[in-house]
Amino acid sequence: MSEWRNWSGSVAAQPTSMERPRTTDELAAIVIGASKVRVVGAGHSFMPLCETTGALISLSAYEGQVEIAEDRKTVWAPAGWGLDRLTAALWAQGLSLINQGDINPQSLAGATATGTHGTGAELGSLSTQTCGFRLMLADGQVVECGPDLRPELYQAQRLSLGLLGVAVAIRIHVLPAYYLEERIQQLPLDEVAERLDELSAATRHMEFFVFPYSDKVIFKTLQPAAPDGDFKPGNDIDETPFRLACEIGALAKPLIPTLQRLMMRASAGASRRVGPAYQIFPSDRTIRFEEMEYELPRANGMATLKAAIAHIRKRRMPIAFPFEFRLTAGDDLWMSPFNNGPGASISFHQYAKMPWRGEFAEIEKVFQAGDGRPHWAKRHSLTPADVHRLYPKTGDFLKVRASVDPDRKFANAHLTQLFGLPDAART
């Protein structure tokens, strides 16, 4: 038995084996031979999605390469590749992803299985960028699906939490390679709230970070641009003073509000740089944290953020990390939290060395009061009844799941509970 932990350290598992197959035959032998299977990408999910009591499979060494379509609008990519490896390979071929999130170690399969997204009022999550899958099912056979080929399986697989099988290759939409201009400045929260529509319409990507005890936000935009000057890949924001503030705050919680205001004052300058999109999008997040994120109807986003901040201040809650506020386009994926229209995403983080469970439970109620739906990979407490109420297509999703994996080989304890699947231990 081996020990596995996720990125934040909050999820542990004892799989019977950890596997790194290199070929389809090796992968099929593992899938057929094990009674329980989960696949892990980079292990960046905060929920116990990769936890298993069976075989835990990584596709990091699995065969495959990028195959570019003739019209250069889509590519097939190895599902287990990290987004870092994939985006560098695409750049070398003159291509870029349509959008990316904050970091890039996630695997393509892990990011698309969970609805991982960046920011952009008109841009959907990475799951919406998929247009085909090669999937190994529970019997070891690889099947392909797409909009016109096994369309039900395709619909379910576009955001599947890994419940249907092992994705070995994923087809995604791409764009000709582009550069981005990044601008970072501080703005008053009230001003951003008032001008949100205008600010978001002005650039392709807009987001901001706000500490709960500061009235100013760190406002960041990305806009396609011509190459301009030398570019050195590196972080959008210097994490050094922040790391120190987290350490001090964890030891002396009453100091947190003052530390946050000091940090904002010390970093008041604006910055600008231009670089290749695949290097501008991601940052290194080196300070470990725990995270909950809710996706709200766009119209409720700002009021809900303000309600969460007010709640934290009223209760004097010791929260060391800033909120992150982003925009995502609506979509039509069965299990996507963005399938009820354009979304505003609010991420609520806590320093990993500080308590978070009670704090997350309180703020989750604020997010739910704003009609929010959680990011599947981040902390939440949904019950099967919640899932069915929030996602009218849950029944269709579970029907496809049952048709391809009747023995629930790809389920684990968390997903069994979340979807109210029959529990093997009790059946």
Ligand X SMILES: Cc1cc2nc3c(=O)[nH]c(=O)nc-3n(C[C@H](O)[C@H](O)[C@H](O)COP(=O)(O)OP(=O)(O)OC[C@H]3O[C@@H](n4cnc5c(N)ncnc54)[C@H](O)[C@@H]3O)c2cc1C
Binding site residues, ligand X, CB under 6 A: 7, 38-45, 49-50, 59, 79-80, 101-103, 106-107, 109-111, 113-114, 116-117, 161-162, 166-167, 285, 375, 377
Largest CA-CA distance found in the chain, in angstroms, rounded: 64
Nearer to ligand X, 86 or 390 (CB): 86
Gap between the Cα atoms of 39 and 18, Å rounded: 10
Nearer to ligand X, 82 or 370 (CB): 82
How crowded is residue 150: how many other Cβ atoms within 10 Å of its Cβ?
18
Nearer to ligand X, 182 or 257 (CB): 182
Nearer to ligand X, 213 or 376 (CB): 376
Query: CB of residue 356 vs ligand X: minimum separation in angstroms?
Result: 14
Query: CB of residue 251 vs ligand X: minimum separation in angstroms?
Result: 23
Nearer to ligand X, 74 or 107 (CB): 107
Nearer to ligand X, 161 or 192 (CB): 161
SS (H, E, C) the chain: CCCEECCCCCCEECCCEEECCCCHHHHHHHHHHCCCEEEECCCCCCCCCCCCCCEEEECCCCCCCCEECCCCCEEEEECCCEHHHHHHHHHHCCEEECCCCCCCCCEHHHHHHCCCCCCECCCCCHHHHEEEEEEECCCCCEEEEECCECHHHHHHHCCCCCCCCEEEEEEEEEEECCEEEEEEEEEEHHHHHHHHHHHHHHCCEEEEEECCCCCEEEEEEEEEECCCCCCCCCCCCCCHHHHHHHHHHHHCHHHHHHHHHHHHHHCCCCEEEEEEHHHHCCCCCCCCEEEEEEEEEHHHHHHHHHHHHHHHHHCCCCCCCCEEEEEECCCCCCCCCCCCCCEEEEEEEEECCCCCHHHHHHHHHHHHHCCCEECCCCCCCCCHHHHHHHCCCHHHHHHHHHHHCCCCCCCCHHHHHHHCCCCHHHC
Query: CB of residue 94 vs ligand X: minimum separation in angstroms?
Result: 25
Nearer to ligand X, 113 or 145 (CB): 113
- 148 φ, ψ (degrees, to nearest 5): -110, 10
Query: CB of residue 228 vs ligand X: minimum separation in angstroms?
Result: 25
Gap between the Cα atoms of 262 and 323, Å rounded: 17
Cβ atoms 34, 412 nearer than 8 A: no
Query: CB of residue 64 vs ligand X: minimum separation in angstroms?
Result: 11
Nearer to ligand X, 48 or 370 (CB): 48
Query: CB of residue 291 vs ligand X: minimum separation in angstroms?
Result: 7
Torsion of CA 124, 157, 346, 418, to 10 degrees: 160
What residue type is 180 in one-letter code?
A: L
Query: CB of residue 103 vs ligand X: minimum separation in angstroms?
Result: 4
Query: CB of residue 102 vs ligand X: minimum separation in angstroms?
Result: 3
Query: CB of residue 354 vs ligand X: minimum separation in angstroms?
Result: 16
Nearer to ligand X, 3 or 70 (CB): 3
Say if strands 179-188 and 216-225 run parallel, antiparallel, or are unpaired.
antiparallel
Nearer to ligand X, 5 or 389 (CB): 5
Query: CB of residue 32 vs ligand X: minimum separation in angstroms?
Result: 16
Nearer to ligand X, 79 or 256 (CB): 79
Query: CB of residue 135 vs ligand X: minimum separation in angstroms?
Result: 8
